[in-house]
Structures are given as C-alpha cells and as structure tokens.
Structure 1
Amino acid sequence: MGNVLVKTKEEAISWIHGREKVGIKPGLERMEWMLERVGHPERHLKFVHVAGTNGKGSTVSFISHVLRRSGYTVGTFTSPYLIDFTNRIQVNGEDISGKDLVAILNQVIPLAEELEQSELGGPSEFEVITMVAILYFSQIAKPDIIIWETGLGGRLDSTNVVYPLVSVITNIGYDHMEYLGSDLKQIAKEKAGIIKSGVPVVSGVEQEEAKAVIYEVAKAKKATVYQLGEQFSTVINKIHHSGSKFDFQDIFLTMPNIEISMIGSHQIKNAAIALMTLEILRQYYAFYIEEDSVYTGMKHTFWPGRLEKVLENPLVILDGAHNPEGAESLAEAIHLFNYKRLILVTGILKDKAIQQFYQPLLPLADELIITEPKFPRAKEALEVAKIVHSIGGASHVLVQENWKDAVDMAIQEANKDDLVIITGSLYLISDVRKYILEHYKKS
C-alpha cells in the first residue's frame, strides 16, 4: 500500500479528479466496504435524501435555507459544483475548508488503495467525494441534518448507503439513459431505489406511469407517499420574471402567499416539494420550524446558475438546463420576460438528448450561437449545428467554438432591450458565470 498522501487543497482536488479515469461505477459494494472499515459513521447522522432528474439543487437549497433560518446547522451535499469544487460539501452555506478536505481525504486514500487491490476494484471519483462528505460531516462539522443529493439515479448511486428521515423524488425525465434505462418506468424504478422501509417519500413526479412505479415501490417498503397534486398542492397567485407567489396546502396546514425569488413555474413545484419535506420534519421528527422562518427562508433562497441574472444591461441570464425537461422549463420561463430579441448561447455534452433539448428553444431564439463547453465530453459545435438544422425552425444560427468568444459576441450584439440567455451544460455555465462576473461586472 502506497503512502502518497496529499498536502494542499489543490493536491486533494487533483487526486480526486484523478479517479475520473475509473469512470462511473454504479453499485454500493465499494461504499459499503469503505464504510464498514471506518465503523459506519453515516448511521449516526440525520439525512434528507433527494433524487430526481431536475430540480434537486433548488429543492435542497429551499429546504436548507428554511432550516438554517430556524436555527439548525445544515450540511449539504450537491453536484456538480458551479464555482469551486468544495461547493459540493457545505455547512450553512460555507464550503468545506482546504485544511479539512486534506485531512479527510488522507483518511480515504489508504481505503481507496486497499480497495483497488480487492476484487471490487478501486472507488470512482464520486464514491471518493461521497466518502469524504460522510467523514467530514461525522467527524468535523457534525450538522443537525444533512440535505443529501444523489449523483445519478438512486438505487445504485453511492449516496444510497444512508437511511434518511425523508426520501424526496423531485421529478422523472430523460437523462443519463445509458445508465438508468430508456423509458420512464425504468428511470422511475432507479430513482425509487432511494425509498427505504417505513421512511416517508415526498414526490413531485407527474407522469402517471412513473408515479405508479413510485407508489408500487413505496407500498412494498411500507413507506407513506406524499404526492404533489394529491397530499399537497399549490395555487399560483402571481408568476413573474422576478419570482412568484403561491398558496401551499398539505394534509396538515395551509400557507397563503408564499413568495420565492427563483424564476419559473418549475421552481414553484420545487418549493412545494421542499415545504412538504419540512412539514414532515416538523410533524414526525419534532423539528422546530417557525412560520416566519418558512416565509423568509423561501423568499431568500437562491441557487446560482438557475435562471440567474448576471448582467442588467443587456439583460443576461444563465440557466443550467442541460436536458429536455430543463429546456422545456426554460422555454416556459422565457415567456415571463419582456424583450425585443432573444439571443441564445448554448453548449451541450455528447451524452445528452440533443435534439429534444433544442426543440422547445429553437422557435423562441432570434439568434442562436452554438459553442462548446470546455469539458472532455463536450459535443462539437459543428455537430450540434447539424442537428439544429435538421430540426429546422431556427432563424439565425452561428457557430463559435470558443465559449468566451460566443459570450462576448452575444453581449456585444445585444441592444439594451434584448435578452441574452446562456444555457446548456452546467460545466459551460460554471465557466461563463466566472467570466461574466470578472470581466463585465467590473466595467
């Protein structure tokens, strides 16, 4: 066994990224093996486990903001990160420190090396990060509760080694089909894999066939389902390009006129799922959550890169809509804005349903600039342009492989009453966000 240990945050991150070569390894055997070795610290922590195709990050953010306002120390585990790698593991909105990352990773490295020699093989990058999160939360941060987001799917996702207080499934759509299956029932079955015996389930799933799968799995596990549109619901009072107001009702209570600043009707659904989850924590697990904390927490929830305004003149909005459902939610939200021309900048990864992603967006764009995320799995801009032309309905398509040039082109071309939306891969959004905040906000 080697003793190559890391000394700095940069070395730690580089070691973790080095595991990328292992690829994605569905299954819980390696996680169970490592947790067994360190005495199962996850058993002493409280979790809310969140799965779903879209809306996981926003839902995590809504839940954690309200709990923090109520005085709880809240850990969050999310992916991918938007600004810094350490965003993935936070307590009360503060990233894990470089020092703690180094200390914890130095405990994981020997485990990973020992595992490498076993018949199970070495852990994937995501398994290492999940392990780091569990050890950090159990040894150093010790939060009251952790809002714990799946990486991919649910059943075989490395986060699925925890026994949560509540399981949350935000929605089901077509993404990661090479791992999760190609029809909604199969994908629903994978997401429903996070349902545990007797643990309440909050579901925002809308398609009947996917809903049926969730009810079936929950019934087998004797888990109560709280389904959006059935046990809890919303009435929209106002929906606007600066947020929404809605009434929320569940089997316990009614809350009128809840205000959120996150844009789009999909965020009302995410907010409702969060409110139902909070209500379960309150009713069944004696969490003390005041009404005032709910209203202020919901209103101040923010999740970067989700219909986020980064420039005012011209109005530039970033949205990490990286799959067909995300693109539909974005297309719906675009109608809330007043603008003369829409300039759309997009870059997407190879493994996405590209044609379905562009379909709802093309008719809305006066100009489409296709670029490439700086990421190994990026789809070449010229290839994307071919797909776009095959769909038809696009008015003006430009290809600019370099994403910085694409962003500059869009911003310089836009008049003050035009709208620029930059969307697609979260890897693209992460780079663009940094670039705009550094280069344009100053000027």
Structure 2
Amino acid sequence: MQPGARLQAAIEVLAEILNRHRPAAQALSDWGRAHRFAGSGDRAAIGNIVFDALRKRNSLSFLMGAETPRALALGVLAHAWGEAAEVIDAMCAGGRAPEPLSEAERAGLIAALDPDAPDWVRGNYPEWMADEFRAAFGAEAVAQGAALAERAPVDVRVNTLKADRAKVMKALREYAPEETPFSPVGVRVPVRARHHKAPKIEADAAHGKGWFEVQDEGSQIAALLAGAGPRHQVADVCAGAGGKTLALAAQMENTGQIYAYDADKTRLRPIFERLKRAGARNVQVLPAGNESALEELRERMDIVFVDAPCSGSGAWRRRPDAKWRLSPQALEKRHAEQRAVLAQSAPLVKPGGWLVYVTCSVLPSENDAQAAWFLAEYSDFAPVPLAQVWRETLSASFPGSAATGNGDSLLLTPASHGTDGFFIAILQRSA
C-alpha cells in the first residue's frame, strides 16, 4: 500500500472507533479481514497511526482545530511522527489517498501547542479527570499524563522456575533486549520505530517452553513487594488470567500454597494453560465465583494479594482507547467493586499477615482513598511503609512515589519509573 492509502485506511478505522464507539483492536482486526491484500507492514503502520491518534487525541485535536478522524490522523503524521507538511500534502493525492488538504489543515500541521492550553489538553487525559490528576501529581500532572500517552516497551518476567535472566536475554537477542532497571527478573524490549509493530514475543519458542511471561515491570514490582516466599500461604483473590499468580509461584519456589480465585470464570480460564507451561505446581485454582471457597481460608493467609478491578488508567500507553471510553459512572462502579473486594479479603489475613492492595490506576480515588477507607473500617490493620519494603525486597534505593502522599503507599508511573501506572499499598493485620 502507498502511504496515502495507509493514511486513508487509518482514517476509516478511527471513524469506526470514534463514531461507533468500537474497541480499537476489534476495529483494526475487522479492517484487516476485509482488506486481506494489506501486508503486515501495512497493518502495522495503520495500527500505529490509529493508536497514536488515540494516545494524543486531545493535543492533536487542539492543534488541528478539529476532532474528526481525518484531523487526528493528519495530526499524528505531523506532530507525533514529525513528517513535513509537504510530505503529508503529497500523500493526499490520487488513488486511494485522502482528499487534498484544506488551508485550515495546512495551518494545523505547522501549529505549535500553546503553553497556556489546558492541562488536560497538554497531558492528553479526559477533561473530567483534571481534578484527579491534580490531586495525584500536583504541578506534574501534565508531564505524567503526557508520559501515559507515549508508546510502551514490551516487558517480560523471567520464570525462575525454568530459566534465568541471562538465558532469556540470549533467547530474545534478535529484539535487542535490555535488563529492566528495578525488577531483577525483568527483560525489556524497547519501543520500535513508528512504522513497526511491537514484536510478537509470545510467538517465540522460549515462551512456549515457559521461560518467560509478558508482564510490565510495574506489575512485576507489585508481585515482588508482596513478599511471598517459600512455604507461605497466599490468596490471590482477583487472579484473572494469572499473571501475578505465576510471579508469586516463582518467588515461592513452588513451595507453600497459592489459592487463585476470581469472580469471573471467563477471566480465570486462561490460568490453567499458563500454570502448566510455567511449571507452577503450588497453585490451587478455586472455583470462580464460589465465595464459600474463600471463606474456608479465613485467617489462614500470610499474604492476601488484591489486584483490584480498576479504571486501567495506568495502562493507557497500551490501551489508549480505554481512557476515552471511561466515564464518571463507570469509575464510581469501580470504587464500589474495590471496596467490596477489600471487605471480602480482609477476613482471610491471619494475625500478622499482609493484605497487598494493587491497582493498575493512577487515580487517587481508586488508590490512596480506598486504602484510607479500608484503614478506617478495619482498625486492626495498619500501613507498612513501602520505602522499607522496597529496600528489604529489591536491595536498592527507593525511587520514591510519583504521587503526592504520605509515603505509606507507592505509585509507579511511566514518567517517574518507566513502568505502567501501578499503585501498591501493604496493610498489615495486628498480631
């Protein structure tokens, strides 16, 4: 496909996403099935235009003076990819290319973002979240939001039950891997050039052998800080597909017992194949949605790991369309779900044990506010300072939290730590 045809295709996919409110991945997949002549390079370039347009939707529409699919796609080429206006002009000519540029579009291609533009425009987050971002980051709100609007690398966690980091680095050498800066079991494949798709790491033979799992470094850190070790009794009460369950199993060296539970059987279904591939034998998967199975664990758990349902705002680099689908009503629903799962989990913690509360969110209402609610409701729990846990667990200097808080919790972000956004609070039950 010619560059102009790729641009037109991206405009059409964006129209499906913005006008019909379809998930980006689904819209791109449907376009690919309907246009089988498009090669993998074409699909990668089209997908990158679409996802970069969604990542930077606010700033691009501000610069281009419109929020149409066409304006966003043109804006990506000029303002995210650095293409010259003359090059973009040449793309809009003939064949399957878009219509020629208007004078207003030409002006938008060379416009500069006003430093006095609203924070939510420069930071590329929804306007209705402006108060949340200010509460979380203060004067850093724009920088933190902007980092969530960039592309993310591919991180993998070495499965120490079967391999070590050197072995995985060697297996993935064609991708120019790097060691992650914080996690001792992490390997990172850097962001590739704008036209290239992220490599399909999971298609590698080393993944099939169970040597590694794709997992963001922030998620790895959350599992590491939980402090799970040999012979511990652990409940992972929002296990989902089992990413953190697998991490905990490796930390425990296949000893002790992990009870993996999720309220949704569809989310839980992939865990069985993943456990088998990883060689994790210390995990008992509880029946999905069977709360009585959890009740049997009452006051028996050294660690209760709560990866709570949340907005997913910490993963906007990977799922940028999600930030525009989120609504205040949906966020309120998440708040209720978080309190419900915390209330369900508290009785499982034995005296002296830990409840580890984690979200993939940067929003204070899902993070510190929920931890504060929990501590007010459950007076026999107290926060464990994260700086202390970090030093004891990772043997490295504490990098500090991205959030303005009291230091008892930790917020990891792309801008501050190079990870997805992850919140971690450790709450200990009195002995």
What is the TM-score of this pair, normalised by structure 1?
0.31
Between structure 1 and structure 2, the one with the greater Rg is: 2
Query: Comparing both structures, which one devotes a greater share of its residues to strand?
Result: 1
TM-score (norm 2): 0.31
